């Protein structure tokens, strides 16, 4: 049994399972590729997965999860594993130097020296070329690189072609950063949806309730996204303090800005998708109660009595239509910059279910 078999944040699907099998075989045969590129939809979870793999490589039992090597690696404090955030090294090439130094010093602990580089897509040309050189001529055969990226289309092709590439699909529900946020959305939504349903049953037909709810949600999402802004400002300050040349700072700012937009967009999409999940769950529950289900047959059993008492006016065909609209809007969401409109539209329909 290896910790690689129990990565609970990976979706249980074919490609992931094949990837895991390949990694396990590499670990067990001692034939680990020295240049690996992991990419997938969460930098946070890519980082975690890279640590799982690193632990398995150096553990005497191919990743028992219990020994010192495993537990220290998973905590990120094992001295044979270096984690570099590529973000900062765009100008501060010293981070690339740091990893070259790390790879050149013979390790005092037996085993492989592993360097994990996060957000490889954000490296500038200078840092990329230096990295490429290191990949082409690794200091010694005990060096292993695991490069991490959310988007490989912008990485130097010569780097990609040097690596064994693995694409991963993550179960984003397991992403801790988002988990905490979700509870805030749950609270607003459950209260808001109850109000909308109540106003329907009392024939109070203004649209302000639904519009206010979508406004509340967007405000909350934007507030939650402030941590991304804080991250961007922190990176900007680091660079300003680094004494880099003005032209480099300008270049970096541009890259940082597009990275910021990408992160923000992704965050908002995830948030609104979560909102859609909750709305669908409510709609399914209303249908279930109407067709005689009891509490334990619902997504949210605590809503059973509320639904039973307040939804007699709601028409089943309208629920179907709204469920369909939710799924359509999920697809539009990827392309739309007006995310508020998607929510407005859905809540307006919600308010007119009877
Ligand atoms: Zn172990």
What is the Å distance from ligand 1's center to 30 Cα?
15
What does each C-alpha distance from 296 to 187, 197, 303 come to in angstroms? Answer: 21, 21, 11
CA-to-CA distance for 217 and 225, rounded, in angstroms?
A: 12
What is the Å distance from ligand 1's center to 63 Cα?
5
What is the Å distance from ligand 1's center to 58 Cα?
8
What is the Å distance from ligand 1's center to 18 Cα?
22
What is the Å distance from ligand 1's center to 324 Cα?
48
pLDDT tens string for the chain (354 positions)?
Answer: 899 998 999 999 999 999 999 999 999 999 999 999 999 988 889 999 999 999 999 999 999 999 999 988 888 778 888 887 765 444 345 666 667 677 776 656 778 999 898 888 877 777 788 888 888 888 778 889 999 998 888 788 999 999 999 999 998 776 655 555 677 888 889 999 998 888 876 655 567 888 888 888 888 888 888 888 888 888 788 777 777 777 777 777 777 787 788 778 778 888 888 889 899 999 999 999 999 999 888 998 999 999 999 998 889 999 999 999 999 888 777 766 677 788 888 888 888 888
Taking the whole predicted model, whether its pTM rises above 0.85 is answered as no
Residue 36 has a pLDDT of 97
What is the Å distance from ligand 1's center to 236 Cα?
39
**Contact, 119 vs 231, CB < 8 A?**
no
What is the Å distance from ligand 1's center to 141 Cα?
22
Domains and CATH numbers, the chain: 3-173 (3.40.50.300), 175-351 (no CATH)
Residue 86 has a pLDDT of 61
Locus of tokens 């590439």: 165
What is the Å distance from ligand 1's center to 5 Cα?
13
What is the Å distance from ligand 1's center to 73 Cα?
9
Residue 259 has a pLDDT of 76
Residue 79 has a pLDDT of 80
What is the Å distance from ligand 1's center to 28 Cα?
13
**Contact, 244 vs 91, CB < 8 A?**
yes
What is the Å distance from ligand 1's center to 72 Cα?
10
What is the Å distance from ligand 1's center to 3 Cα?
9
What is the Å distance from ligand 1's center to 342 Cα?
48
What is the Å distance from ligand 1's center to 48 Cα?
16
What is the Å distance from ligand 1's center to 71 Cα?
7
What is the Å distance from ligand 1's center to 165 Cα?
25
What is the Å distance from ligand 1's center to 64 Cα?
4
Between helix 226-241 and helix 208-224 the angle, nearest 10°, is 30
């Amino acid at each position: 049994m290896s910790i690689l078999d129990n990565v609970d944040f990976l979706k249980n699907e074919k490609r992931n399972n094949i990837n895991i099998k390949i990694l396990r075989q590499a670990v067990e045969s001692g034939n680990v590729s020295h240049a690996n590129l992991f990419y997938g939809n969460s930098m946070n979870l890519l980082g975690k997965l890279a640590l799982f793999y690193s632990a398995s490589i150096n553990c005497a039992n191919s990743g028992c999860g219990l020994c010192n090597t495993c537990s220290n690696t998973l905590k990120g404090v094992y001295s044979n594993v270096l984690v570099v955030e590529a973000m900062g090294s765009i100008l501060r090439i010293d981070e690339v130097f740091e990893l070259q130094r790390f790879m050149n010093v013979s390790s005092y602990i037996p085993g492989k020296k592993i360097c994990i580089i996060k957000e490889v897509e954000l490296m500038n040309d200078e840092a990329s070329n230096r990295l490429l050189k290191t990949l082409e001529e690794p200091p010694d055969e005990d060096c292993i690189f695991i490069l991490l990226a959310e988007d490989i289309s912008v990485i130097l092709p010569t780097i990609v072609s040097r690596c064994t590439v693995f694409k991963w699909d993550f179960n984003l529900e397991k992403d801790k950063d988002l988990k905490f946020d979700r509870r805030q959305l749950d609270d607003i939504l459950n209260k808001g949806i109850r109000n909308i349903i109540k106003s329907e049953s009392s024939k109070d037909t203004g649209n302000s309730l639904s519009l206010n709810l979508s406004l509340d949600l967007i405000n909350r999402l934007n507030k939650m996204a402030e941590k991304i802004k804080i991250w961007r400002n922190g990176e900007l300050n680091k660079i300003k303090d680094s004494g880099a040349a003005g032209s480099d700072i300008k270049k970096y700012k541009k890259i940082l800005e597009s990275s910021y937009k990408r992160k923000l967009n992704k965050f908002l999409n995830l948030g609104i998708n979560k909102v859609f999940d909750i709305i669908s769950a409510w709609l399914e529950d209303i249908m279930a109660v109407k067709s005689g289900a009891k509490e334990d047959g619902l997504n949210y059993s605590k809503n059973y009595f509320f639904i039973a008492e307040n939804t007699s006016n709601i028409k089943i065909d309208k629920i179907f239509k709204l469920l369909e609209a939710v799924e359509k809007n999920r697809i539009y969401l990827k392309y739309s910059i007006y995310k508020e409109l998607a929510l407005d539209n859905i809540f307006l329909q919600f308010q007119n279910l009877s």
